[in-house]
Amino acid sequence: MLKLQTKTLLALASVMLVLIIVITLASLASFRDFSIRAATEQTRTSAEMIRVALTESMLNGTIHQRDSLLSRITQIDGLDEARVIRGPLVQKQFGDGLNIESLTDPIDLQVLQSGKSVYTLVGGYLSAEFRATVPYIASSQGDVNCLSCHAASEGSVLGAVTLIASIQHMRKAALLTIIILVGATTLFSIISLLFLRKLLQPLVITANEIEQAVRQAKAGDFSIRVQQRSNDEIGAIARHFNSLSEGITTKLSEIRHNVAHLIQSQPSTNGDLLADTANTVSGLVKVSQFKQAIEEDESSEEVFQRISEVIQTEFNFNQFSIYEVDQTKRKIAVICVDGIAQAPIQWCNDDITEKCTTCRVVRTGHSIDGTENTLICRSFSNEARQEGKVYFCLPVIQSGGVGSIIQLVLQADDLPRAQHARPLIESYLREAAPVLQAKSLMASLRESTLNDAMTGLRNRRFLEEYSETLVSQCKRRGTSMTLIMMDLDYFKKVNDTYGHDVGDSILIDLANIFKANVRDSDLIIRYGGEEFLIILPDTNANEGHLVAEKIRKAVEVFQFKAGGVLINKTISAGLADYPGNGQAFWQVLKYADVSLYAAKDAGRNQVVCFTPELWLSEEKY
Exposed e or buried b per residue across 341-353, where buried means at least 16 C-beta atoms within 10 angstroms of its C-beta: eeeebebbeeebb
What secondary structure, in 3-state letters, does 98-150 show?
Answer: CHHHHCCCHHHHHHHHHCCCEEEEECCCCCCEEEEEEEEECCCCCCCCHHHCC
Cα dist from 298 to 135, 276, 442, 458, whole Å: 124, 35, 10, 22
Q: Where are the alpha helices (DSSP H) in 296-404?
A: 300-309, 360-364, 382-386
Active-site entry in 530, 531, 549, 619: 530
Closest alpha carbon to 322 in 431, 444, 429, 440: 429
Tell me how far apart the terminal alpha carbons of the chain are, to the nearest angstrom.
108
Q: Do residues 348 and 321 make contact, with C-beta atoms less than 8 angstroms apart?
A: yes
CA-CA-CA-CA torsion for 465, 467, 468, 472, nearest 10 degrees? 140
Give the H/E segment covering residue 310. Answer: none
Decide: helix, strand or coil at residue 350: helix
Q: Do residues 406 and 425 make contact, with C-beta atoms less than 8 angstroms apart?
A: yes
Task: Return the half-sphere exposure (C-beta side, CA atoms, 13 A cut-off) of residue 580.
Answer: 18
Strands (E), 399-542: 401-410, 481-488, 523-528, 531-537
Q: Do residues 201 and 194 make contact, with C-beta atoms less than 8 angstroms apart?
A: no
Phi/psi of residue 406, nearest 5 degrees:
-110, 120
Decide: helix, strand or coil at residue 365: coil
* Cα–Cα dist 385/354, whole Å: 22
* Cα–Cα dist 2/7, whole Å: 6
Q: How far is CA 540 from the centre of its chain?
A: 65
Closest alpha carbon to 547 in 518, 577, 527, 523: 518
Query: How long is the chain?
Result: 621
Q: Do residues 571 and 551 make contact, with C-beta atoms less than 8 angstroms apart?
A: yes
* Cα–Cα dist 575/533, whole Å: 9
Q: Do residues 579 and 480 make contact, with C-beta atoms less than 8 angstroms apart?
A: yes
Q: Return the sign of the alpha-carbon dihedral for residues 597, 603, 606, 607.
A: negative
DSSP letter, residue 461: H
Phi/psi of residue 75, nearest 5 degrees:
-80, -5
Active site (annotated) includes residue 465: no
Q: Are strands 368-369 and 390-398 parallel, antiparallel or unpaired?
A: antiparallel
**Residues identified as active-site:** 530
